[in-house]
Amino acid sequence: MQATHLPVAAGQVGRLTQSLMAMVLGLFIVGVVGFSHIDVIHNAAHDVRHSNAFPCH
């Protein structure tokens, strides 16, 4: 079995991509779900924030 070594830059690009995707997902959740006008979705997000002891108001 032969080991393949990736350059350091490839690992950094992977971490950067993962970080950017996590930020996009977070913004989506806050922007779309947190401020939703659909009461069921908004209340579910609100209850999750409270269950995680995250202040929201």
> For residue 12, is pLDDT > 80?
no
Tell me how far apart the terminal alpha carbons of the chain are, to the nearest angstrom.
57
Burial of 33 (0-12, 13-18, 19+ CB in 10 A): middle
Tell me the average pLDDT across 11-18.
82
Give the model confidence (pLDDT) of 27-52 as tens digits. Answer: 888 778 777 788 887 777 778 777 87
Q: How confident is the model at residue 23 (pLDDT cuts 50, 70, 90)?
A: very high
CA–CA distances in Å: residue 9 to residues 1, 13, 22, 34 = 24, 6, 20, 36
Nearest-CA neighbor of 33 among 24, 42, 25, 46? 42
